[in-house]
Amino acid sequence: MKKKKKLGIVDVLVWIVIVITFIWVVTPFYWAVITSFKKPIDVFRLSVVPWLQFKPTLDNWYMEFTQRGPEIMKGITNSIVISVSAALLAIALGSLAGYGLARFRFRKWKNQDMALWFLSQRFLPPAATVIPFFLIIKSLGLLDTRLALVLVNTTFTMPFAVLIMRDMFKELPVELEEAALVDGCSRWTAFLRVALPLAAPALVSTAIICFAFTWNEFLFALVLTYRQAIPMTIVIAGTEHTQGVQFWYVSTRLLLAILPPAILALMVQKYIVRGLTMGAVKG
């Protein structure tokens, strides 16, 4: 018969940390959920227990859908289209560039310099480029289009994809592609049929991160869109007006905005974990 193991001080500390972390992570979501079911008059008073401290109501949700429904749907649809497109474009271009940097040695502009240049694009404050981008997009006649945001977001997320994919391809044994070349594959086929499938977990996790960057982007969305192409970030910002921030609508919109990325993350979580841990343990 197994003896019950006593909880040691370390176990207790671990549990305390876990509980604190759990509360830390869950509290904002809990706040959003209960606030979305509160009347405005109940929002600012400290009340966290539905039915005991306040009577939950569906009014906020009802008002959002009846008055803002089409706009919210448009915002979510735009966010999904823009984020997915930008993520796909970023990994498509990023994996090609990353493969090039991993497998070929460039002379004039050295690989390291190019990698550094890509990295510098991540350091560039977006605010510094917003007016030039506005003028470019305006002269292309693309203001208030989803394409404009796809292009801009791809510009900002692609360096990340390039660098991650470069490291990923570096990790792959080059012998696998050489074997394919010996068997008659072209370089392009070897890339598509051998290297890319092996890099799938990294591709997925990179795409998810690019998707998340784009999903949360606000500045360019604000400047480059007016009505047709507004994403969810702008819809959420619209809860602040001259009568203050409408926290009850912030909550409803926030929960709606969380939904698509959360579903996506759940669907591909096994790839994310695998992609992020690839190369972590080396033989």
Partner 1 sequence: MKRSSILLVVALAVVLVLTWSFLALAQEETSELELQTAEAAFQAADKGNPDPAWQGQKFTIGVYSAGPRGAISGPLYFWRPFFEKLTGATYDIVEIPFGELREKIFTDLMTGTGYYDVIIGPSWFYGDYVSNGWIVPIDKYFDDPRMPKWDRDSILLPIRELLQWKGTWYGFNNDHDGQVLYYRRDILTDPKWQELFKQEKGYDLPVPPRTWEEVYDVCDFFNGKDWNGDGEKDYGITMHLKVGGQGFFHFMALSAPYVVSPAPGDDPTKVTRYHNVYWFDPETMEPLVDTPGFVEALKMLLKLSKTGPSAMWGWSLGEAWDAFLRGKAVLTFSWGDVGSLSQLPESSNIKGKLGVAPIPGSEKYYDLETQQWVNQRNFVANTVGASWHGVISKFSKKQDLAAYFLSWQATPEINHWNVVWGWTGIDPGTLYDLLKPTGYADIEDYVQTGYDAEDARQFVTAYEEMWYKYPLRQAYLRIPGTPEYWEVWDIHLSEAVVGQVSPEEALRRTKEDWNAITDRLGRENQKKIYQEAIGYVPEK
Whole-number Å distance between alpha carbons of 223 and 142: 12
Q: Binding residues for partner 1, how many (CB under 8 A)?
A: 43
Q: Rounded to the nearest 5 degrees, what angle is found at the Cα of 27, between the Cα atoms of 26 and 31?
A: 120
Using CB under 8 A as the binding rule, whether residue 62 contacts partner 1 is answered as: yes
Q: 35: Cβ–Cβ under 8 A, 6 or more apart, which residues?
A: 43, 247, 248, 250, 251
Using CB under 8 A as the binding rule, whether residue 29 contacts partner 1 is answered as: no
Tell me the angle at which helices 200-216 and 146-171 cross, rounded to the nearest 10 degrees: 150
If the CB atoms of residues 170 and 274 are measured against partner 1, the closer one turns out to be 274
Structure token digits, residue 243: 């009568």
- Contacting partner 1 (CB under 8 A), which of 18, 192, 245, 273? 245
Instruction: Report in angstroms how near the CB of residue 135 gets to partner 1 at its nearest.
Output: 7
Single out the segment in contact with partner 1 by CB under 8 A; choices: 39-47, 90-98, 160-168, 203-211: 39-47
If the CB atoms of residues 54 and 160 are measured against partner 1, the closer one turns out to be 54
2-21: contacts with partner 1 (CB under 8 A): none
Using CB under 8 A as the binding rule, whether residue 47 contacts partner 1 is answered as: no
Q: Which amino acid is at 223?
A: V
Using CB under 8 A as the binding rule, whether residue 45 contacts partner 1 is answered as: yes
Tell me the angle at which helices 9-36 and 247-267 cross, rounded to the nearest 10 degrees: 120
Whole-number Å distance between alpha carbons of 270 and 275: 8
If the CB atoms of residues 146 and 166 are measured against partner 1, the closer one turns out to be 146
Instruction: Report in angstroms how near the CB of residue 37 gets to partner 1 at its nearest.
Output: 13
Polymer length in residues for the chain: 283
Using CB under 8 A as the binding rule, whether residue 43 contacts partner 1 is answered as: yes
* 206 neighbors 91 (Cβ within 8 angstroms): yes
**How far from the centroid of its chain's Cα atoms is residue 175's Cα?**
34
If the CB atoms of residues 90 and 142 are measured against partner 1, the closer one turns out to be 142
If the CB atoms of residues 121 and 246 are measured against partner 1, the closer one turns out to be 246
Structure token digits, residue 5: 């193991």
Single out the segment in contact with partner 1 by CB under 8 A; choices: 12-20, 194-202, 245-253, 275-283: 245-253
If the CB atoms of residues 31 and 61 are measured against partner 1, the closer one turns out to be 61
Q: Which residue has the tokens 């409408």?
A: 246
Q: Which amino acid is at 175?
A: E
Instruction: Report in angstroms how near the CB of residue 268 gets to partner 1 at its nearest.
Output: 11
Whole-number Å distance between alpha carbons of 29 and 49: 14
80-139: contacts with partner 1 (CB under 8 A): 131, 134-135, 138
What 3-state DSSP class applies to 244?
strand
**Chain residues in the site for partner 1 (CB under 8 A):** 39-41, 43-45, 59, 61-63, 65-70, 73, 131, 134-135, 138, 143-144, 222-223, 226-227, 234, 237-247, 259, 263, 266-267
